[in-house]
Amino acid sequence: MASISRMQPRPHPLRMDSFDEVLEVDMIEVSKDFGKQCTLLQHRGRVFDFEYEFYTIWNVLEKLGGNVLISSGGNRSTDYHSSSAHHTLQDKQFLGPSSVRFSETTEKYPKENTDHVQAQTTKQTQFKPFKPARKEDDEISEILHMTDIQKTGKSVQARLRARKRFMALNRIPMMKPKPKPQLSLFGFNSLQLNGLDNPLFFGAQHVKARLDREIKKGEDASKYLAVASKEPPNFNVTNAALIETTKGNDAVYHVGDKIPPENARQILIATTWRSGSSFTGDIFRHYPGTYYSFEPLHYTFQHASNLEDYEPAIRLLKSLFKCQYDSTNLGYLKHVSLGKNHFLFDENFRVWQVCQRLLPGKAACFMPRLYQAVCPLFPIRLIKTVRLRVEYTAELLADPELPNLKVIVLIRDPRGTMNSRSSMDWCLKDHCANVTKVCDDLDRDLASAYDLRDKYPGRVYLIRYEDLSVDPYENVDKIFEFLDLPQNSVVDNFIKTHTKTSRIAKVMPKGQSGSKISVNPYGTYRDSKTTAFAWRKKMDINYIHHIQTNCKAPMDKAGYHLIETSEQRDDPDFPVISKTAEEVWPWEKRQ
């Protein structure tokens, strides 16, 4: 048989409908070296990658137990037999767009018509049906003859059982059925109605009820289920919980009252990419009564090409801290409404769990009227961003309408930052992957933090990610003291769940209070499995030297020890922290 000239394989997928009559192959290449090739097998919308794709294909065909015809689309015939496919595939080459069919009955292509079939323009070859060797295979083969199955309850169940066995035998994962689209509770025409018949008013009342329950009972609001019915919320304004606002504020607020910006707590977590900001934000968003804005500058710095253009970013942050959802930030809401950007809002679970099903397409979640109603209800407004240099937060701290704003500056060992970024496909641009740029930004942020601390005493706090990951309880307590917030059991439970650590009693020196409890502060620095120090196992010593050469000054300020040899890197007893947290950022605890 003449062979066909070889072509470069294209990444065409192979679609296999296991229980249909047609197996379509967009591109097949078989050769003695076919193990080096890889065909994508797409089964019911899911793509599978088989190292020896043809072995798998023929095994599937054999399990199906039908006659198989291959149409080469050319003017030559191919003569393969499924039961001896392993021999035949090693001896012959076949390349080209193809269609593979199997029939449940031999009547479609009787054996005596083989010569006629091969004489057709598109040469076709018949495969003899596979004879099942086991009772289970026999049952599968029988049930796969769908033309013989009636749609009775018994037959449907039999087909389902056969399908599961077929998938198990061929190691093809069962496909999960697509979730049915959830119907919205209201239509858009209901926006003209009043009271609980209006979806936005209905949603705002649910937010109030959940906030009241969270504060009264000390529950974790992240565990509340999404609103799924029109059942009226259980909220009584006359019995609403009292809300603790900022220290020294004489105004009294209850759940349901709108808290003006000057009496609310505003918290900004300012850091950079891959510095532990998501973990830090998760901790503080679980504090009861927190309204969380996750990475709002994703809108202003969509391409993250110029973090120096900060004026639009500052305007957006101010409007969010003041709960001003109007024409000034409609572009932000439109940006988040795109499906790929929903993650920016679903972090704010106190609102997201309520708004999703109010209107079709989750439209209520992106309407300014809803946020105008619910944002002012929260006594704590938290924003986390990796897209703003610390020096630019000075404009926020200087705003007279935000007298209670406090800034948490989160930094990380640049070796850990670069190690984490190296695994991110999106971190390829100069501002993200360039070591010199990263070190310069760290140096600037440290200098700005110290300057702002002197200019705005008690409103700026710097913490290393390593300290937070090693001893989360001790360091979260310090931040709560800085924020004038009491400790909270919900936050403790979150830390316990996500760090696998617990508070333990710590013996205090004579003359000091023994009420403080913590885990061993620096003992786990030696744990190489700690995420914060995973770079020690992954990073090449030459790359470590490259980072340290560029970052020597900021690393010294932040208390990070330089590593000179691979032996030091691999030695778990060699410290990478040269200063305590108090030496890096002295903080006097409130009495």
Residue 569 corresponds to which amino acid? R
Both 199 and 163 in a single domain? no
Domain assignment of residue 559, yes or no: no
Please, where are the H alpha helices in 276-402?
Answer: 277-285, 297-300, 311-321, 330-337, 343-346, 349-355, 368-374, 394-397
Q: Same structural domain for residues 126 and 224?
A: no
Same domain, 207 and 136: no
Residue of higher predicted confidence among 313 and 97: 313
The C-alpha atoms of residue 271 and residue 386 are separated, in whole angstroms, by 5
The model's confidence at residue 71, banded by pLDDT at 50, 70 and 90, is very low
3-state secondary structure 91-148: HCCEEEEEEEEEECCCCCCCHHHHHHHHCCCCCCCECCCCCCCCHHHHHHHHHCCHHH
For position 183, what pLDDT does the model report? 87
Residues 342 and 244 in one domain: yes
159/188 same-domain check: no
Percentage of residues of the chain with pLDDT beyond 70:
62
What's the pLDDT score for residue 90?
Answer: 36
pLDDT bracket for residue 178 (50, 70, 90): low
Q: Do residue 356 and residue 398 come from a single domain?
A: yes
Q: With a cut of 50, say whether residue 64 has pLDDT above it.
A: no
Q: State the pLDDT at residue 140.
A: 45
* Residue 227 and residue 166 share a domain: no
Q: Distance between CA atoms of 410 and 464, rounded to whole angstroms?
A: 6
Percent of the chain with pLDDT over 90: 48
Mean pLDDT of the chain: 74
Mean pLDDT of 262-283: 93
Q: Are 504 and 296 in contact (CB under 8 A)?
A: no
Tell me how many domains the chain contains.
Answer: 2
DSSP state of 307: T
pLDDT at 175 (0 to 100) = 57
149, 155 Cβ separation under 8 angstroms:
yes
Q: With 60 as the cut, is the pLDDT of residue 60 above it? A: no
Closest Cα to residue 449, out of 557, 311, 307, 320? Answer: 557
Residue 469, class by beta-carbon neighbours within 10 Å (0-12 exposed, 13-18 middle, 19+ buried)? buried
Within a domain: 38: yes
Return the SS3 of 43: strand
Ramachandran class of 343: left when φ > 0, alpha when ψ lies in -120 to 50, beta otherwise: alpha
Quote the CA–CA distance of 322 and 383 in Å, as a whole number: 12
Q: At what angle do helices 435-455 and 541-558 cross, to 10 degrees?
A: 10
Which residue segment(s) compose the domain that 400 sits in? 184-411
Amino acid 318 reads: K
pLDDT tens, position by position, 354-374: 999 999 999 999 999 999 999
Instruction: Pick the more confident residue, 29 or 199.
Output: 199
Tens-place pLDDT, residues 402-445: 999 999 999 999 999 888 887 666 665 666 778 898 999 999 99
Q: Is the pLDDT of residue 48 over 60?
A: no
Asked whether residue 565 is assigned to any structural domain, the reply reads: no
Q: Tell me whether residue 60 is in a domain.
A: yes
Q: How many CB atoms lie within 10 A of CB 341?
A: 16
Q: Is 385 helix (H, G, I), strand (E, B) or coil?
A: strand
Decide if 262 contacts 251 (C-beta within 8 A): no
**Residues 69, 71: Cα–Cα separation, whole Å:** 6
> Where residue 79 falls among pLDDT bands split at 50, 70, 90?
very low
In this prediction, residue 238 carries a pLDDT of 87
| 391-403 residue pLDDT tens | 999 999 999 999 9
Residues 141 and 194 in one domain: no
pLDDT at 531: 76
Residue 342 has a pLDDT of 94
pLDDT tens, 96-142?
A: 333 333 333 333 334 444 444 344 433 344 444 444 444 444 544 44
Predicted confidence at residue 171, as pLDDT, reads 56
pLDDT above 70 (res 378): yes
Q: How far is CA 496 from CA 58, 237, 475, in A?
A: 51, 34, 14
CB-CB contact of 373 with 258 (8 Å):
no
Neighbours of 339 (CB within 10 A): 8
Does residue 111 share a domain with residue 41? yes
Residue that finishes a domain, picked among 360, 382, 411: 411
The string of pLDDT tens digits covering residues 543-590 is 999 999 999 999 999 999 999 999 999 888 899 999 999 999 987 654
**Residue 233 CA to chain centroid, in angstroms?**
31
Q: Is the pLDDT of residue 40 over 80?
A: no
Contact indicator for 357, 199 with CB cutoff of 8 Å: no
Who has greater pLDDT, 5 or 247?
247
Measured between alpha carbons, how far is 276 from 386 in angstroms, rounded to an integer?
Answer: 10
State how beta strands 406-411 and 265-270 pair.
parallel
Q: 154: number of CA atoms within 13 Å, CB side? A: 1
Is 314's pLDDT higher than 80?
yes
Instruction: Give yes or no for a contact between 477 and 470, defined as CB atoms under 8 angstroms apart.
Output: no
Buried b (16+ CB within 10 A) or exposed e, 389-418: bbbbbbebbebeebebbbbbbbbbbbbbbb
Q: Is the Cβ–Cβ distance between 270 and 409 less than 8 Å?
A: yes
Cα 456 from Cα 343, distance rounded (Å): 33
Report yes or no on whether pTM surpasses 0.85.
no
In this prediction, residue 335 carries a pLDDT of 93
3-state helix, strand, coil in the chain (%, to 5): 45, 15, 40
Please give the pLDDT value at position 500: 76
In this structure, is residue 434 part of a structural domain?
no
Of 235-239, 246-250, 504-508, the range with the lowest mean pLDDT is 504-508
- 510 in a structural domain: no
Query: Average pLDDT, stretch 283-312?
Result: 83
For residues 339 and 228, state if they share a domain. Answer: yes
Same domain, 114 and 208: no
DSSP 3-state assignment of 588?
coil
Residue 124 located in a structural domain: yes
pLDDT band at 221 (very low <50, low <70, confident <90, very high): very high
Q: How confident is the model at residue 228 (pLDDT cuts 50, 70, 90)?
A: very high
Residue 260 lies in a domain: yes
More confident site: 526 or 316: 316
How far apart CA 547 and CA 435 sit, in angstroms, is 6
Q: Which of 114, 146, 170 is the last residue of a domain?
A: 170
380 shares a domain with 355: yes
3-state helix/strand/coil string of 547-568: HHHHHHHHHHHHCECCCCCHHH
